[in-house]
Amino acid sequence: MSKLRSSSLKFAKSLLLYGVIAASSATAAVFTTAKLMPTTAQSPASGSGRLLTGSSFIASVADQVGPAVVRIDSARTVTRRSGPLNDPFFREFFGDMWEQPSSRVERGQGSGFVVEADGVIWTNAHVVEGADTVTVTLKDGREFSGEVVGEDPLTDVAVIKVQAEDLPTVTLGNSDQLRPGEWAIAIGNPLGLDNTVTAGIVSATGRTSAQIRVPDKRVQFIQTDAAINPGNSGGPLLSERGEVIGINTAIIGGAQGLGFAIPINSAKRLAQELIEKGRVDHAYLGIQMRTLTSDLRQQLNRDPRTDVRLSTDEGVIILGLMRNAPAVEAGLEVGDVIVSMNGRSITDAEQVQQIVQGIGVGEVIALEIDRGGRQVSIDVETKALPQQRR
């Protein structure tokens, strides 16, 4: 599997991971332009069929929303110990006695947008990950010191607060009503070029994390061909009415016209939980799974290293279990094949993830399991996914 580069705020590191580039940082200079439709005398009021006349609605959206889009600069200090005797042979005798602590400051940059006039700002979690300091700069040049209220790496949403009043704000739209072909406008700070405006369309909705090669994420994405580059992370994706429909977050490395945004309806729920608790609790089962196929069934049945013997080639097979996870407590076993969840037939691993991420912590999921040809019913009570230490 290819690796994805989280361009920003892995703090100026070019970390390649899953082949997807988190759209933040400012390490190069590239000029991007908005896509313009041909001018015509006919001008429908709205929709993707709307054609430009003498006055550009894209320019109007930029004028309306641009003041509420911010640049976010973050920095963290990384300390490590180093010394002249790094050779293991010498360290065996002298230990760490000559080691001296050394530190460096790692910096990153992204975008964000003001949601409340008293200084509440939404952005991506990777824009502020591990930051010691956060500086927020408005289009009019004002700078504020920002505090990270909460961040959720699993969905890549974060909330920042600055001490201010009467800031310009955005209007939130409804991402559930989006259709492919509608206009999409992005405003952000790609590659350090503040308040850059690009435009295109909504290319698709409901893209899963696996489809865009970030299977560890717990969110579905809006796909757009509006130009998104490193530094756009955390900025708004807008409708033709100037309403925020998503948070720009990633692009696929090596591709053109493939940008992805977190739907704003999902971001609303996540941001509210971050404001209330400083974290987001995600339900989990604690299983390693894979979509079962005929070829996989034959491969597992022939493997002398396992006791797994499968009689079905449809469902989702459990290949591993996390210690002390809800799945273990409920009695699930390696080799079990999930064929139904809450009465819904299961044929793909993504279905399992979507069902789990759509329910709350402490809720019960009714599973139908194929266990060596026997049908077994098991109820699993979800727990909150343990928070990773940083």
Find residue 290's DSSP bridge partners.
Answer: 317
- 346, with CB counted inside 10 A (0-12, 13-18, 19+), is buried
Contacts of residue 45, defined as CB under 8 A and 6 or more positions apart, other chains included, come to none
pLDDT at 214: 79
Here the tokens at position 11 are 């703090």
Q: Are strands 243-252 and 171-172 parallel, antiparallel or unpaired?
A: parallel
Maximum C-alpha span of the chain: 84
- Nearest Cα neighbor of 111 from 7, 231, 5 is 231
User: How many angstroms separate the CA atoms of 356 and 341, rounded?
Assistant: 10
Catalytically annotated residues? 126, 156, 233
Task: Report helix, strand or coil for 287.
Answer: strand
User: How many angstroms separate the CA atoms of 319 and 188, rounded?
Assistant: 42
Whole-angstrom CA distances from 273 to 14, 100, 264, 268, 354 are: 31, 42, 14, 9, 19
Contact 223, 204 (CB under 8 A): yes
Residue spans per domain, the chain:
1-27+56-75+105-280, 283-384
User: How many angstroms separate the CA atoms of 44 and 328, rounded?
Assistant: 58
Thinking of the domain 283-384, which architecture would CATH place it in? Roll (2.30)
Task: Give the rounded distance of the alpha carbon of 174 from its chain centre.
Answer: 19
pLDDT digits (tens, 9 = 90+) for 224-242: 999 998 899 999 999 999 9
User: How many angstroms separate the CA atoms of 194 and 111, rounded?
Assistant: 9
pLDDT at 358: 85
Alpha helices in the chain (DSSP H): 57-65, 88-94, 125-128, 264-277, 294-302, 326-330, 349-357
3-state DSSP percent of the chain in helix, strand and coil, to 5: 15, 35, 45
What residue ranges of the chain have pLDDT lower than 50?
1-21, 25-45, 47-49, 51-55, 390
Q: What is the DSSP letter of 195?
A: T
What is the reported pTM?
0.76
DSSP per residue, 40-64: -S---SSSTT----SS-HHHHHHHH
DSSP per residue, 150-176: EEETTTTEEEEEES-SS----EE--GG
| CATH code that applies to domain 1-27+56-75+105-280 | 2.40.10.120
pLDDT at 102: 65
pLDDT at 360: 87
Here the tokens at position 232 are 């756009």
pLDDT at 8: 40
Residue 257 falls in which region: left (phi positive, over 0), alpha (psi -120 to 50) or beta: left
The mean pLDDT of the chain is 82
pLDDT at 124: 96
